[in-house]
Amino acid sequence: MHHTQSSIVVALDFPTQDAALEIARQLDPTRCRVKVGKELFTREGPAVVRALHALGFEVFLDLKFHDIPNTVARALDAAADLGVWMVNVHATGGRTMLEAAAERLAKRGTSRPLLIGVTLLTSLHDADLPELGWAPDAGRQVVRLAALVADCGLDGVVCSARDLTNLQARVGDRLLYVTPGIRPSDAPPDDQARTATPAEAWAAGAHHLVIGRPITKAADPAAAVEGVLRTLR
């Protein structure tokens, strides 16, 4: 079984730096990492990443880059300059974009951030896919994109925990598996369509569990982290 230490990534999905740091200060950076997403980064910029680093946290910069290859490669350079732990791109950007992203970060050697590809958003149902030109089979689409990500030299994928069994069978241990949509059994699904409990995701082979509101809205966020870690043990 993979190590539980820092397997939890707390999603700081807040509109302001002050709100994000208020929660971060209640957490232990040796017990979890944190994620900065689009809203927070767009409003506060690199300053929020630096503030989280100053508190001792490793940061997953969740901006899901998806653009022409050169633009994505340069954006990843900028993210790496911030010293973040992990960054991501949309796998649907295609092979040329994915290879350009991996090659640009590889030039940084061992100091580079992890690079992961987003397969399919966990808010999407099978029924949503035909409008995008895909067969109504989310699991098959995820496997196809994950195989492309692995072939292009990225470190891992973002995927639903429900896809992990198929991914383990088709892609195996070539990738890190980062799973959002994690909800303890007593938590509501909110806007996620394909959710799993922490224990289900861990047993299926997840390496990093991205958890937001069940921790950040808890009366004691640090205790909520410890509760999840107990279920993983």
Cα separation, 160 vs 122, in Å, equals 6
Q: Over range 54-68, report the average pLDDT.
A: 98
State yes or no: pLDDT of 11 exceeds 50: yes
**For residue range 67-112, what is the model confidence (pLDDT) as tens digits?**
999 999 999 999 999 999 999 999 999 999 999 999 999 999 999 9
Query: How many Cβ atoms sit within 10 Å of the Cβ of residue 52?
Result: 23
How many whole angstroms separate alpha carbon 7 and alpha carbon 211? 10
Buried b (16+ CB within 10 A) or exposed e, 130-150: eeeebeeebbbbbbbbbbbbb
Q: Which domains does the chain have, with CATH numbers?
A: 8-232 (3.20.20.70)
pLDDT at 233: 80
DSSP string, 119-149: -S-TT--GGGGGGGTS-S-HHHHHHHHHHHH
Q: Do 142 and 159 form a contact (C-beta atoms < 8 A)?
A: yes
* Strand 176-179 relative to strand 156-158, pairing: parallel
Q: Enumerate the H helices of 55-137 as residue ranges.
A: 69-81, 95-106
Q: Is it the case that residue 1 has pLDDT exceeding 50?
A: no
Residue 58 has a pLDDT of 97
Do the Cβ atoms of 86 and 118 come closer than 8 Å?
no
224 with 187: CB under 8 angstroms?
A: no
- The set of residues, in sequence order, having a beta carbon less than 8 Å from that of 76 and lying 6+ positions away, is 65, 87, 89, 101, 104, 105, 115
Q: How many angstroms from the chain centroid is the CA of residue 63? A: 10
Which of 38-52, 164-178, 182-196 has the weakest average pLDDT? 182-196
- Note the pLDDT of residue 187: 57
Q: Is the pLDDT of residue 198 over 60?
A: yes
Question: Active-site residue 64, yes or no?
Answer: yes
| Prediction pTM value | 0.91
Q: In the structure, what pLDDT confidence band is assigned to residue 116 with cuts at 50, 70 and 90?
A: very high
Distances (CA, A) of 58 to 9, 39, 84, 112, 196: 9, 19, 7, 13, 24
Catalytic residue among 35, 64, 107, 217: 64
Task: Using the predicted structure, report yes or no on whether residue 188 has a pLDDT greater than 70.
Answer: no
Task: Place 181 in a pLDDT band, splitting at 50, 70 and 90.
Answer: confident
